[in-house]
Amino acid sequence: MAVEASAPGKVILFGEHSVVYRGPAIVLAIDKRARVVAQKRSDSRIFFDALDLGFAGYFEGGRYHSVVGKPRRGRSLEAFNMAAVKTMEHLGVESGVSLSIRSEIPIAVGLGSSAAVSVATVAAVGALLGGGLPRDEVCSLAYEGEKVVHGTPSGVDNNISTYGGILMFERDVGFERFELDHSPPFIIGNTRWKRSTRRMVERVRMLRNRNQRVVDDIIDAIGCIAGEGLAALRRADLERVGDLMNINHGLLASLGVSSPELELMVHASRRSGALGSKLTGAGGGGCMIALAEDASIPRIEKAIQRRGGESISVNISHEGVATREVG
């Protein structure tokens, strides 16, 4: 028997960087998913097939052994190995497993790729060896994998990937989940420039150290936009959502986290009919997101492509992690 689990990626709609200090972030699950197929092995190895990324190998005795591709690529798999190991420890099971990873989510551009694979890994291993885990356990075990990647992550990515829908997160407050009865179309523009969240957060921190009162006012404004933006999204006031996206982008740019590539795509999408557009995630590269009406989607996609980006049309996904038997 084999089990396939899939989990969605994400975009941050509002609240980047301000959420580090105060105020909420609004995060959307998107209908691009990572898929992991798990099968039992007769040995103790945890084998990963990531051949669509050009590598494969296995962990045994805590060490990575390359089969295809350079050994350093094993670092990309350490989080998923941790997720699988923690799941087996939780179940009280010792087993070798083969895990085949395929994903529609671009990696290292702020769309939650690693969390989606970690969540899908936990769910697939849990279903294969233990008959399935409740979502809260999937989420907490996937967080162990996320810690390998991010050190002390907020938990946003593994939560949104586990549960889907819309998530509001605020430090010292926690998570609140929402669903919509409508799904406005969004277009992601991927610059294809990998970025470091840690570096961007540190850049804002240094700017704040030099200009605390001014930067705190910007942070408070971004937090206010996040709350207003969620309310507008829930009542389907897309024109207001678009206005707030545009304002939010300007504030993020003032913090120094935009880039020439992002600016080109943000402004080209607006000229092509987007109701609003902004960078999403840490900035410095990665992706932007545009809110569109159906008629303007082709124009916006072409505008993003003409500026050197990859365009990805997405909707909000209310389906979180899901499993099924295969083969």
The pair of structure tokens assigned to 131 is 């008959």
Task: Tell me whether strands 166-170 and 63-68 are parallel, antiparallel or unpaired.
Answer: unpaired
- Looking at the annotation, which residues are catalytic? 157
Q: Please classify residue 237 by burial: count the beta carbons closer than 10 Å to its beta carbon, then call 0-12 exposed, 13-18 middle and 19+ buried.
A: middle
**Cα separations in angstroms, 293 against 183, 200, 274, 278, 290:** 11, 31, 7, 16, 10
| Pairwise CA distance, residues 120 & 142, whole Å | 8
Q: 46-50 and 96-103: which strand pairing?
A: parallel
Find the DSSP H helices in 211-296. 212-234, 238-254, 260-271
Which of 183, 147, 179, 141 lies closest to 162 in space, CA to CA?
141
